[in-house]
Amino acid sequence: MATATPPGVRGGRSETASDTAPMTHRQIMEALSGLMLGMFVAILSSTIVSNALPQIISDLGGTQSSYTWVVTAALLSMTAATPLWGKLADLFSKKLLVQISLVIYVLGSVVAGLSQNTGTLIACRVVQGIGVGGLSALAQIVMAAMISPRERGRYSGYLGAVFAVATVGGPLLGGVITDTDWLGWRWCFYVGVPFAVIALIVLQKTLQLPVVKRDVKVDWAGAFFISAAVSLLLVWVTQAGDTFDWISWQTWAMTGGAVLLGVVFVLVEARASDPIIPLRLFRNKTISLASAASLFVGIAMFSGTVFFSQYFQLARNESPTMSGILTIPMIGGLFVSSTVSGQIITKTGRWKAWLVSGGVLLAAGLGLLGTLRYDTAYWHIALFMALTGLGLGMMMQNLVLAAQNQVAPEDLGAASSVVTFFRSLGGAMGVSALGAVMATRVTHYVEDGLTALGPKAAALGHGGTGGGGIPDLDRLPAPFREVVESAYGHGVGDVFLYAAPTAVLALVLVVFIKEVALKSSERDG
């Protein structure tokens, strides 16, 4: 039962943009400034380590599996926490939740920078992921609470632009920090802290949202079972083919356990008075299709940011800084398409053509990236990356927009977080599975290359590249370095080739989404 209704709240729910006089563009931008800074921090933390990871894992004595887990751990906790953040946003102060997310992120970052081994680093990345999950989910939710559906296209484009800047700025900044002797990779985790503190201060001053407190219990059981199911599934994807065979009793135990936990989650949600993910949302075809499409978009989005750093550093022997610079075409494409599509969608109210076009470009870009080798001409790579970025920019924010347009104001948080959850889940599963594929393919290509050099060369080469660690190319003799570079170039190409069909699946799904023109207010249509 709702408490006394505060100003700006009607009918026991938070006021939306349509319930009061519309905010001016300046008022909206002021209110969103702290939120976008928080979003910048969230994405920065996800991308800043990408170009530093080869050096981090080498310094901490990790393996290719550790490399994958440093990324996957953050994605895993972000994925599992996203639905809970979405539900909390429907119950409590969105502003307070954003600030709590930032504090959690800061704590995880500071301890991560002090890590002395990969185990500690992975644990800290879990904490970071919880905070980042809140920031990612709440950014869309807060925006939806202030802005009418028709206007959201414009401001979603701004969020997409922030995403692009942080995505390109993160690797560049991480590369510069790693290459600077008096800083070192540990500052990759410290550098986001002042941004987060500034975001906290700006949020406190600029973000004013009406709050309604409802006497409803948080669905902790649902949160536990969905987290357990996702975690078990991702542990299996990461370990299969490395620690144990894909077809083994461990596979059957883990996948069976994940399915069982998923069934229990559905049963719990069906009986919960206020479920963390209302199952009734999936009766809406648009939300179901948008969620499934986001799953596959997530695979493409995160695989690009993770594996490009290995490609440029280990296949082309570039520095961390140059690795960031060389990925600019992809981020440039994402920046342009997210901003332009958001502006045009706001003017026309139509969004489906952008989703379909994005699916075509994403599938084409990933398919072409599947041809990568260590000596592929860079202008080819730049073109392929630009196509991939354009596709991502057209799909990522607009899938959330399509889902938000289909729900009542009180379900905005849940609907937004569901689509974000599936995107994060796709990213986590994609990085885990594709990381396992890459480790296997690189090992295979290295063995073939060393064998081709002859028995004596093969024996010497294993001594320099074996053990499952990340190789230091500068310490390898020229013939063996070329073998390793070729192996990583071909291995990363295989990763994108495996990812391309997921983009095709995303395209097929968005084709079947029925377009409903964006409403000018929550009461329209």
Write out the DSSP string of 358-370. HHHHHHHHHHHHT
Mean pLDDT value across residues 330-337 = 85
**Quick check: 218 and 91 in contact, CB under 8 A?**
yes
Q: Which of 62, 68, 54 is nearest to 303 (CA)?
A: 68
The whole-number pLDDT of residue 459 equals 55
**Nearest CA among 335, 337, 330, 336 for reference residue 354:** 337
- Average pLDDT in the 342-365 region? 88
Residue 308 has pLDDT above 60, yes or no: yes
Q: What is the pLDDT of residue 461?
A: 47
Per-residue pLDDT for 386 more than 50? yes
- DSSP one-letter code for 6: P
pLDDT at residue 463 above 50? no
C-beta separation of 388 from 113 below 8 A: no
Tell me the average pLDDT across 382-392: 93
Confidence of residue 211 (pLDDT cuts 50, 70, 90): low
Whether residue 307 contacts residue 323, with contact meaning beta carbons closer than 8 Å, is answered with: no
277 touches 405 (CB < 8 A):
no
pLDDT in tens, 415-455: 777 887 788 788 878 877 888 788 888 888 988 888 877 76
So what's the pLDDT on residue 230? 79
Instruction: Please determine, for residue 12, whether its predicted confidence score (pLDDT) is greater than 70.
Output: no
Q: What is the pLDDT of residue 216?
A: 56
Tokens of 45: 């933390």
CB atoms within 10 A of CB 194: 11
Using pLDDT thresholds of 50, 70 and 90, give the confidence band for residue 190: confident
Q: Average pLDDT, whole number, for the chain?
A: 79
pLDDT reported for residue 368: 95
Confidence band, pLDDT 50/70/90 cuts, at residue 15: very low
**Cβ pair 216, 4 in contact under 8 A:** no
pLDDT for the residue numbered 476: 74
Question: How far apart are alpha carbons 66 and 59 in whole angstroms?
Answer: 12
Which one of 9-13, 242-246, 434-438 scores highest in mean pLDDT? 434-438
Instruction: Give CA–CA dist 381/385, Å, rounded.
Output: 6
> What local confidence, expressed as pLDDT, does residue 259 receive?
93
What residue has token string 């987290």? Answer: 227
Taking the C-alpha atoms of residue 198 and residue 27, their distance in angstroms, rounded to an integer, is 19
161-179 pLDDT, tens per residue? 777 677 667 777 888 888 8
In which residue are the tokens 């550093």 written? 313
> Which of 21-35, 101-115, 146-160 reaches the highest mean pLDDT?
101-115
Specify the pLDDT at position 19: 43
Which of 20-24, 108-112, 435-439 reaches the highest mean pLDDT? 108-112
The pLDDT, as a whole number, for residue 64 is 66
Contact 212, 5 (CB under 8 A): yes
pTM for the structure as a whole: 0.74
Q: Is the model's pLDDT at 279 over the cut of 80?
A: yes
| 163 phi/psi in degrees, rounded to 5 | -60, -45
Distance CA 111, CA 315 (A): 32
Instruction: Tell me which DSSP letter residue 17 carries.
Output: G
511 vs 65, higher pLDDT: 511
Contact 364, 421 (CB under 8 A): no
- The pLDDT score that the predictor gives to residue 404 is 78
Q: Which long-range contacts (CB under 8 A, 24 or more apart) does 113-116 make?
A: 113/186, 113/187, 113/188, 113/189, 113/190, 114/186, 115/60, 116/60
Query: Helix (H, G, I), strand (E, B), or coil: what is residue 97?
Result: helix
Query: With the C-alpha atoms ordered 61, 62, 64, 70, is the resulting torsion angle positive or negative?
Result: negative
Q: Which of 119-133, 345-359, 419-433 has the lowest mean pLDDT?
A: 419-433
| 25-40 residue pLDDT tens | 777 777 778 778 877 8
Is the per-residue pLDDT at 51 higher than 80?
Answer: no
Q: Is the pLDDT of residue 337 over 50?
A: yes
Opening angle at CA 337, ends 330 and 311, nearest 5? 10
Residue 11's pLDDT is what? 35
Query: DSSP secondary structure string, 37-56?
Result: HHHHHHHHHHHTTTTTHHHH
Comparing CA positions, the residue from 351, 481, 483, 506 lying closest to residue 423 is 506
3-state secondary structure of 489: helix
